[in-house]
Structure 1
């Protein structure tokens, strides 16, 4: 018989609730995923699930997912641990295991500079996964990968490729030392249309902040800075949309 936690005042529940904050996730080295799709993707791709939490009225719906690390929780506890509008009644506590040394340079890498909206971060990761990129590097100032909104937006893609939070300058240098071009995104005098660049197998692509774009010190280190020609009257594109277009255009 599965153990059940009913009270939101339970000591373990209070610790899990701290995972809704970046500080709590960093301290415990864990994060929360919500919904059956993310739980199934976590299991399919070998993520380290510390505890599976199933709402007591949903246990029959997810009985095939029950393991020795499964606990039942009340509706009140489930509500405490999620910020989602739709509660599917299944969550998991997952260990954070970043592997910086696992990133290979034989595929393109997306570098994300101070993109602050979790939805944009999640969409960029999902697009990088779909386009076949090898890794996504989230620089300082970007939304936290393990923010629940970011995780929901990835739709599980963060399980499929390496996503690392690190210094972008180091990765730009690493790519250039390996002989790979690094492309920025900008509208300055150095920028050229992305259509002038031939698709290739290995490169870095930098996308930047929603309002100010890529930082000047990074743009000064790139091989080329690219822009997407706009035919209509819109002044600009959302960073996740622009990044997605470039990823598919530059990688054959």
Structure 2
């Protein structure tokens, strides 16, 4: 069995570029790490190449390229030794029949974006719309935080204002999560069958222009701190508005 032993191998150097957003955008490819993410990518039929550290095995029906540990580590964003690296292709999402959506207004942290994806998929939301200044969904930290949900959940980077207007034309009511004098307690909200929830930037929340477009503002009632981490707030809102209507 041939083993890639050099970190200067031409193919490895090209794949390592995918750790950078500009190269992911240019090529349409991205990297995933770990056995769970590899299996999710294979199930979603987006896995194109699989690199495995020498001495490791992965029991899946897919060609495996064996590499020495330094070679595998060159493809990894983690500090510790990686074992499995997959190269995947991006997929264009076109789902149109949507009832429950999330809209992210400049959410910056990759871990927050990834966790929101995992939450939305877990609670049966149909799609996530992201403003163009949100964290990159294909950032390695975002991908890891999604736990594979990005392979199964529709999403798109959009002009958020135009998207909200279009959703409203489809009779999808838009709720903005905000600590605002006009916002209502979550427990008092009447949730329709079709709706969207807007979540904002970790520091300054939803921008004023987007707030003014929302049909209704909502806040999570709390006894101590005023606000929650955006991913935690997303989980509470997604669950309550999905199941406790």
- TM-score, length of structure 1 as denominator length: 0.92
Pick one of 86, 92, 96 that aligns with 2:86. Answer: 92
Provide the C-alpha distance between the structure 2 equivalents of 1:154 and 1:201, rounded to a whole number of angstroms.
26
- 1:21 aligned partner: 20
> Within 1, Cα distance between the matches of 2:237 and 2:197?
8
For these two proteins, the number of residue pairs brought into alignment is: 243
Q: Contact (CA 8 Å) 1:6, 1:74: kept in 2 or not? A: yes
The residue that corresponds to 1:196 in the other structure is 188
Match of 2:168 among 151, 171, 176: 176
SS at structure 1 position matched to 2:107: coil
Alignment partners' CA distance in 2, 1:57 and 1:66 = 18
Compute the displacement of 1:187 (Å): 1.4
- Deviation, structure 1 residue 88: 4.3
SS at match of 1:146: coil
Given that residues 72 and 82 in structure 2 are in contact (C-alpha distance below 8 angstroms), is that contact kept between their aligned partners in structure 1? no
Q: Which runs of 5+ in 1 are unaligned?
A: none
Question: Quick one: structure 1 residues 47 and 215, their matched pair in 2 at CA, closer, same or farther if it must change by over 3 Å?
Answer: farther
CA distance in 2, matches of 1:50, 1:199: 42
Q: Is the 8 A contact 2:114 2:145 kept in 1?
A: yes
For residues 98-109 of structure 1, the aligned pairs below 5 Å read 98-99=92-93, 101-105=94-98, 107-109=99-101
Q: Which runs of 4+ in 1 moved over 6 A?
A: none
Gaps of 5+ in 2: none
TM (norm. structure 2) is: 0.94
For 1:198 and 1:85, the matched residues in 2 are separated by: 47
* Local SS of the residue matching 1:102: coil
RMSD between aligned residues: 1.4
